[in-house]
Every structure is written in C-alpha cells, then in structure tokens.
Amino acid sequence: MRHARTDAISRIKKLEHVSDDDKTRAKIGDDIVKLTLRSRVPSVFGRREYVAAGGLMSYVSSSAWHWRSAASFVDKILKGAKPADIPVEQPTKFELTINLKTAKALGITIPQPLLQRADEVIR
C-alpha cells in the first residue's frame, strides 16, 4: 500500500504543473482528484472546484479579495500613481473548504474546531 501511495504522489506531481489552459487544467484537476481518491492520499488543493469534485479540502486566498485589490490598484494608477510605487499587498482573507464525504471515504475524522473555521463544508 505504501508503494502505491508513493507512486500516486509522484504521478500527481507530474500532472500538477502541466497547463494554464482552463479546460486542460480542469481535466488534470479531475484526474488528480480521482487519483488521490483511488490511492487514498489525503489532499489539499489550491482551488475550491477540486474539493467540489471530490478532493478533501482547499485553503486559498479569497478571489473576492483579489478582485477588490486589483480594482484598488487600477484606481490608484488612474489617479496618477506610478505602478512601481504601489506597495505589494498580501492576501488577508483565505477560504477553507472541506469535503466531509471524501474525509469519510478516506477514513479521516476532521476535528470539530477545523470544521467550525471552514467557510464551506460539503456534506
């Protein structure tokens, strides 16, 4: 079993950096989710969509935060600020999504405090 998990992890690493094309990325994401489930490898994803497709969990910076931040940068630039003078901002809002169906299938119990902190729990 340990060899199968190691093999699955190595195959996942090869898949995860293949393409920026949305359609290809979605297909690869589905393949990674299926592979992690079949190999019983708990996984944390960088996209909520993978959790909805069966991944265990995701922890990502809020897309709403990114849109507001981008709008703020555009506003500053349109008001005359030089882009090089605008400080880089780090995300301050993160979203945690947990898939309890997947946790159950993997035999994992998610601690109650973590469930309470989750922004979304898929049951």
**Contact between residue 98 and residue 114 where contact means Cβ atoms under 8 Å apart:** yes
Rounded distance between C-alpha atoms, residue 91 and residue 81, angstroms: 21
pLDDT of residue 41: 85
Highest-pLDDT range among 9-18, 38-47, 75-84: 75-84
Question: Of the given ranges (7-21, 69-83, 95-109), which has the lowest mean pLDDT?
Answer: 7-21
pLDDT at 70 over 70: yes
What are the structural domain ranges in the chain?
Answer: 1-41
Rounded distance between C-alpha atoms, residue 44 and residue 98, angstroms: 9
- Name 122's Cβ contacts closer than 8 Å, sequence gap at least 6: 51, 52, 97, 98, 99, 100, 101
70 against 20, higher pLDDT = 70
Identify residue 24 by its one-letter amino acid code: T
Radius of gyration of the chain (CA): 18
pTM of the model: 0.72
pLDDT of residue 38: 85
pLDDT of residue 81: 96
